[in-house]
């Protein structure tokens, strides 16, 4: 059994490293094929790296976006090492290093200079890559590390920090490239977030209501498949046949939908299951460690 666990861990590590490499390719394509030709800024640390690269282009010391992306992430690697986990930090470093290398290896290709097309397709490609990385337990560095650190220590989101930081990037794009490009960058940041949310489903919460006459088996099976608390409401009554039922309430992430379906198939396929999407949670909600 120990040997199987070791093999499984090695497989997971290889999968994460591969995903970090794929992310590096996708963000490089977004930057070199779309953002740079269209004069579009990305969100977060990548956008800041682009800004510094642009501002230093006319000086004697030009700093490339690839180099600045790595340099700006260095203090965040230290934060992640001490505040999140060593394994998380190692794969984050891999993702950032692969991104910086591939930005240099993949030569820029100007498919179009249309800023709207560049904003849309660059954001879609980057959002897809970021979502895949997060879905596989890999951070892409930057503001992700700050967000996870604050959430781990306080249980709260730092969406305001992300918003303020990205507003700074948009305003900078306006001063450097002109205000139309600032609006195009804002469009790209919005699309990037939407595509990332579509791919990375772990943070989307869903409330599940289960009406069953096998509550003990259902609870045991669900908790075998996933780590979720369940509230049990006894002595519910069906209005049609007036038979006694038990109502189970829990909240899962969209990422766990497959596990829930498997648990219900195993325990009570005839149970009535109602799922409400995009619920808001107050209080503690277990997040698997990355």
Q: What is the mean pLDDT of residues 7-16?
A: 80
| pLDDT, tens digit, 9 for 90 and up, residues 236-246 | 888 888 888 99
Q: Which of 85, 82, 52 is nearest to 67 (CA)?
A: 52
Burial class (CB in 10 A: 0-12, 13-18, 19+), 117: middle
DSSP element (H, E) containing 257: helix 257-267
Task: Tell me which of 215-224, 254-263, 265-274 is least confident.
Answer: 254-263
> Which among 85-99, 142-156, 201-215 has the top mean pLDDT?
85-99
At residue 1 the predicted structure's pLDDT band, cuts being 50, 70 and 90, is: very low
Separation of alpha carbons 78 and 239, rounded Å: 59
**Would you state the pLDDT for residue 33?**
96
Separation of alpha carbons 288 and 137, rounded Å: 9
Beta pairing partners, 161: none
Separation of alpha carbons 168 and 160, rounded Å: 12
Separation of alpha carbons 221 and 208, rounded Å: 15
Task: Tell me which of 132-136, 150-154, 225-229, 235-239 is least confident.
Answer: 150-154
Q: What is the mean pLDDT of residues 169-180?
A: 86
CB 105 within 8 A of CB 33: no
> Mean pLDDT of all residues in the chain?
85
**Secondary structure of residue 40 in the 3-state scheme:** coil
| pLDDT, tens digit, 9 for 90 and up, residues 75-122 | 999 988 888 788 888 999 999 999 999 999 998 888 999 999 999 999
Straight-line distance from the first to the last Cα atom of the chain, in angstroms, rounded to the nearest whole number: 24
**Would you state the pLDDT for residue 61?**
76
Q: Which of 184, 80, 71 is nearest to 123 (CA)?
A: 184
Q: What is the mean pLDDT of residues 178-197?
A: 88
């Amino acid at each position: 059994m120990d040997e199987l666990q070791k093999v499984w861990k090695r497989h997971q590590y290889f999968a994460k490293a591969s995903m970090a490499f794929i992310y590096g390719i996708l963000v490089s394509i977004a930057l070199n094929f779309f953002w740079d030709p269209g004069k579009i800024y990305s969100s977060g640390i990548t956008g800041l790296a682009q800004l510094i690269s642009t501002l230093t282009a006319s000086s004697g010391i030009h700093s490339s976006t690839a180099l600045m992306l790595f340099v700006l992430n260095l203090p965040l690697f230290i934060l992640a090492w001490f505040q999140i986990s060593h394994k998380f930090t190692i794969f984050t470093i891999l993702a950032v290093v692969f991104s910086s290398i591939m930005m240099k290896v993949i030569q820029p290709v100007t498919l179009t200079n249309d800023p709207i097309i560049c904003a849309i397709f660059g954001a879609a490609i980057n959002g897809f890559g970021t979502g895949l990385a997060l879905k596989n337990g890999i951070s892409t560095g930057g503001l992700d590390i700050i967000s996870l650190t604050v959430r781990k220590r306080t249980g709260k989101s730092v969406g305001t920090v992300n918003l303020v930081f990205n507003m700074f990037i948009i305003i900078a794009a306006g001063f450097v490239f002109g205000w139309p490009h600032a609006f195009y960058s804002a469009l790209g940041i919005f699309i990037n977030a939407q595509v990332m949310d579509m791919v990375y489903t772990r943070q989307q919460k869903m409330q599940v209501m289960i009406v069953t006459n096998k509550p003990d088996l259902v609870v045991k099976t669900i908790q075998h498949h996933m780590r979720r608390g369940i509230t049990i409401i006894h002595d519910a009554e069906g209005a049609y046949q007036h038979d006694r039922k038990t109502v189970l309430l829990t909240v899962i992430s969209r990422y766990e939908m497959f596990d829930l379906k498997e648990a219900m198939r195993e325990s009570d396929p005839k149970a009535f299951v109602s799922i409400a999407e995009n619920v808001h949670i107050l209080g503690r909600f277990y997040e698997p460690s990355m």
